[in-house]
Structure 1
């Protein structure tokens, strides 16, 4: 049998629900960006190295990756609502505990828990969109959500810089707990169940393995997912290195850094709006190809800047903003294209997307600190390599995806994506 889509594409989420879903996905940028201006100070307080402090980011991303893999499959089995509410409550608890961390080792462990629990919001928000929409409508909605959600990386470093300067880095985690509480209220009152019982997938490890194999066996899904994952790795390399590059090398204060970082993040909002408008007349695949190609060019220029260019302040900031602009064309379109390939297992597909995205980000983030706090060369190198790998995955694994007309979505119907053997194997 072929799996049916959970909810007809003619019943898209309400505006209020879109805002709630955007807030749920905002847990990542808020949890990452708000405390980054405190990295040098945290290293001094704990008497540790930059790499150890950066591990608090790495373990958060690892938890986020692993959590999505687990919670995504669970939401295909139990529905979206219950795992979402439990995850948000656990994330709130972990945020409070992070504020009382007595050592960097305890903070590293708690950040894993915070990321694992926060994964519920990220993976289930994507699954709800897939339950309710399809095609170019889904691509537009992902872009709109990204534009709403991009307020987080714009506001987070600015607010975080003020909080850190006035109250210290521990207050950041109390602020995150408050945000988690707001998300909990929104999810409880607005995020109803979007996956009917008859469309839920079987329980058990074997069922999950069959679902995962069918998803991982889709070449185009893996191409779009790896393109997204390597692009995310480039972004998290930039995020992890930027406090040290802009403060220790260029000489910005924590407040100046937070304002600069927020201004660079504004480029994502602008490019996201442009992408959301262009997707009405231009295929998401073409927009994705343009975004990834631009990312390769910008990161190559960044590599030249941090090696032979001497890390010129205005050039560095301009290239950072240019890099973030490419993200607006990459993330939403890659996500929509990837998950559109595996609509029959939206939770599992969303989980694998998240696992790859944040798993590769977790691997890349600590690499930028290998040369110490006063070198930008690792940042430029890792960003360029990741962008090049994103372009390679996109061009090689999605080769031959030439749908009719200007839309990529004729190939994304559930019936054409799910072989009869896969459907019958899970009856």
Structure 2
């Protein structure tokens, strides 16, 4: 966001799209020239459209995988709701300049990314599932408090900023841990599992963002309500998914 503000102020809004396009081209070049295959030739498995469909069908029948992917999906959805509405709320409603808005937006990214860096240490010490349980409770509780405060008539940017920072910090622990848990039993079809999980994350996020847009009225409350609903759904899914025993089924080879 900070870079985008600088580009817009100096070169106009069209320059943002040229910059993004240039970044995509550069990433494609680096992908083709720098990312080498690490799997030994003898360990590689052939793939076809049929085997891919078989793997996807297997994953769609795995309740544990779908539950964990959906926990992360609704977590990302809450951020998508914020992403789609925050510029209107912060600039039009609270009167922030585009540059200050960029700083405000980046603060939540710092919370998310910063806490996600602790995932490895905390998971090694406490285990993945306990980390998910605690993090999703903290995430949902913080967002419920935010909604209650805003619904009571407290329309203050500083209050929203603090609670979003804390809530998205907890979310930074939820996404990586649920992704690892979803993948841990699917090493043989890791690529397919990763692709499906990413698709589910963004599909849930896109739907949530569209629904939130229908209720947007220029005030923070609909945005906060959407964020909170996504957080509560993540919490419920975590209780259901982590509370039941896991059925380990042998996956088809990718």
TM-score of the pair, normalised by structure 2? 0.90
Q: Displacement, 1:367? A: 2.6
What are the Cα deviations for residues 389-408 of structure 1, in whole angstroms up to 9, with x where unaligned?
A: 11122221332358xxxxxx
The residue aligned with 2:19 is: 175
Structure 2 unaligned regions, length at least 5: none
Asked if 2 retains the 8 angstrom alpha-carbon contact of 1:241 and 1:379, the reply is yes
Q: Does 2:210 align with 1:366?
A: yes
The residue aligned with 1:418 is: 250
Asked if 1 retains the 8 angstrom alpha-carbon contact of 2:129 and 2:242, the reply is no
- For 2:245 and 2:112, the matched residues in 1 are separated by 27
The structure, 1 or 2, with the larger RCO (C-alpha pairs under 8 Å, 6+ apart) is: 2
The residue aligned with 1:288 is: 132
Secondary structure in structure 2 of the residue aligned to 1:279:
helix
Residue number among 220, 226, 247 corresponding to 2:70 in the alignment: 226
The residue aligned with 1:107 is: none
Aligned-residue Cα RMSD (Å) equals: 2.2
What are the Cα deviations for residues 212-246 of structure 1, in whole angstroms up to 9, with x where unaligned?
A: 12112222111111111111111111111111111
- For 1:307 and 1:161, the matched residues in 2 are separated by 31
TM-score of the pair, normalised by structure 1? 0.55
Q: Displacement, 1:172? A: 0.8
Residue number among 86, 93, 96 corresponding to 1:249 in the alignment: 93
The residue aligned with 1:398 is: 242
- For 1:281 and 1:312, the matched residues in 2 are separated by 38
The residue aligned with 1:377 is: 221
Q: Displacement, 1:283? A: 0.8
Residue number among 192, 197, 200 corresponding to 2:45 in the alignment: 200
Q: Does 2:78 align with 1:213?
A: no
- For 1:248 and 1:328, the matched residues in 2 are separated by 28
What are the Cα deviations for residues 259-286 of structure 1, in whole angstroms up to 9, with x where unaligned?
A: 1111221112321222232222121111
Residue correspondences, number: 253
Structure 1 unaligned regions, length at least 5: 1-156, 403-410
- For 1:218 and 1:392, the matched residues in 2 are separated by 18
- For 1:326 and 1:277, the matched residues in 2 are separated by 15
Q: What does residue range 310-325 of structure 1 map to in structure 2 within 5 Å?
A: 310-325=154-169
Secondary structure in structure 2 of the residue aligned to 1:370:
helix
The residue aligned with 1:150 is: none
Asked if 2 retains the 8 angstrom alpha-carbon contact of 1:342 and 1:417, the reply is no
